[in-house]
């Protein structure tokens, strides 16, 4: 599996939107934007010839990817975010504040960002810390492209990402009334600079050939396939370059249970459950599926293990 991907290796345009169409059609309904999504078969191997970022494992269906979600700003239920996010359709004017140890700070719109990054498709395993997993065809761009554009200086050692804070958009941020107030809002995540620059690290703007639905973290969310899913922060409004390690939301709320690194590791159990195996969700049988063995770094060790050489992965969980 190669990490270098040329423009002409990208899956043919017919199976996902063309950037211009994407931008111009922004105000149209999502149905109008569903460009050829039916061309996705339920088998990822069909794409292996086109991209270096894929897997031969069966894809999780579009339905389960968009109807079994963790998005606590909406709800702690897996099924409710899809219903609650119906009116959450952020536009091209969505702003991301990019700041900190960089030469080009500013408020960048989604349109700005799409203007200087390349569309790619990635089929990645997503392994949740709760021990379920999916195989998902994302569209978006490699995070390193955005980082290079804003020119980090030598003090930039880490990056912090922050989700939109808006009680009118996200009822879950009001906490108490929903019976859940334990997460400190807004949701935050962080990466070490080398992790952020790794070619696998991706910003998704679409899934299954359609614009990213609200429940999956519209309009742009992080994807780090060798880490537990909680690192894949949704609906990002701030990217800050720092000289010291930021605190991520789940680590702050449960420091003994959720670390900063959160690398998928079948040998380091969560204090309350084993991480040795996972429930691979491919279709609506959600719970009827067989468990499979979890792989170290979620199977991406060849591309990422060298970043953690000499590190104690039990202590740095």
298 binds ligand MTE (CB under 6 A): no
Instruction: Show Cβ contacts of residue 87 under 8 Å, excluding neighbours closer than 6 positions.
Output: 214
142 neighbors 199 (Cβ within 8 angstroms)? yes
Using CB under 6 A, pick the residue from 51, 54, 60, 69 that binds ligand MTE: 69
136 neighbors 65 (Cβ within 8 angstroms)? yes
73 binds ligand MTE (CB under 6 A): yes
Give the nearer residue to ligand MTE in terms of CB position, either 128 or 304.
128
CB of 82 to ligand MTE, least distance (A): 9
Determine the Cα–Cα distance for residues 43 and 59; give it in Å rounded to an integer: 6
Determine the Cα–Cα distance for residues 299 and 219; give it in Å rounded to an integer: 27
CB of 134 to ligand MTE, least distance (A): 7
- Compute how many residues bind ligand MTE; rule: CB under 6 A: 16
Closest chain position to ligand MTE (CB): 229
16 binds ligand MTE (CB under 6 A): no
Q: Are strands 202-207 and 132-142 parallel, antiparallel or unpaired?
A: antiparallel
Determine the Cα–Cα distance for residues 312 and 317; give it in Å rounded to an integer: 8
CB of 25 to ligand MTE, least distance (A): 23
Q: Of how many residues is the chain composed? A: 317
Using CB under 6 A, pick the residue from 40, 138, 161, 187 that binds ligand MTE: 187
Determine the Cα–Cα distance for residues 108 and 239; give it in Å rounded to an integer: 10
234 binds ligand MTE (CB under 6 A): yes
Residues contributing to the site for ligand MTE (CB under 6 A): 69-73, 126, 128, 163, 187, 216, 229-230, 232-235
């Amino acid at each position: 599996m190669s990490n270098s991907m040329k423009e002409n290796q990208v899956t043919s345009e017919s199976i996902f939107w063309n950037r211009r169409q994407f931008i111009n059609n922004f105000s149209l309904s999502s149905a109008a934007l569903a460009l050829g999504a039916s061309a996705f078969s339920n088998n990822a191997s069909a794409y292996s010839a086109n991209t270096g970022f894929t897997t031969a494992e069966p894809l999780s269906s579009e339905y389960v990817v968009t109807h079994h979600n963790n998005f606590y700003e909406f709800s702690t239920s897996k099924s409710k975010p899809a219903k609650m996010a119906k009116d959450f359709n952020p536009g091209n004017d969505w702003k991301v504040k990019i700041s900190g140890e960089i030469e080009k700070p500013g408020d960048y719109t989604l349109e700005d960002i799409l203007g200087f990054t390349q569309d790619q498709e990635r089929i990645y395993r997503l392994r949740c810390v709760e021990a379920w997993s999916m195989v998902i065809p994302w569209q978006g761009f490699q995070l390193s492209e955005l980082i290079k554009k804003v020119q980090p200086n030598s003090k930039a050692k880490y990056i912090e990402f922050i989700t939109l804070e808006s009680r009118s958009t996200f009822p879950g941020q009001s906490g108490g009334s929903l019976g859940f107030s334990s997460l400190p809002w807004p949701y935050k995540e962080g990466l070490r600079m080398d992790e952020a620059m790794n070619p696998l690290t991706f910003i998704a703007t679409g899934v299954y050939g359609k614009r990213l639905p609200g429940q999956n973290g519209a309009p742009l969310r992080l994807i780090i396939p060798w880490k537990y899913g909680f690192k894949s922060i949704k609906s990002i409004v701030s990217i800050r370059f720092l000289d010291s390690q930021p605190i991520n939301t789940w680590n702050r709320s449960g420091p003994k249970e959720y670390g900063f690194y959160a690398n998928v590791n079948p040998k380091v159990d969560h204090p309350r459950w084993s991480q040795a195996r996972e429930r691979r969700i491919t279709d609506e049988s959600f719970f009827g599926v067989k468990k499979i063995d979890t792989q170290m770094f979620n199977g991406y060790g060849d591309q990422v293990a060298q970043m953690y050489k000499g590190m104690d992965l039990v202590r740095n969980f």
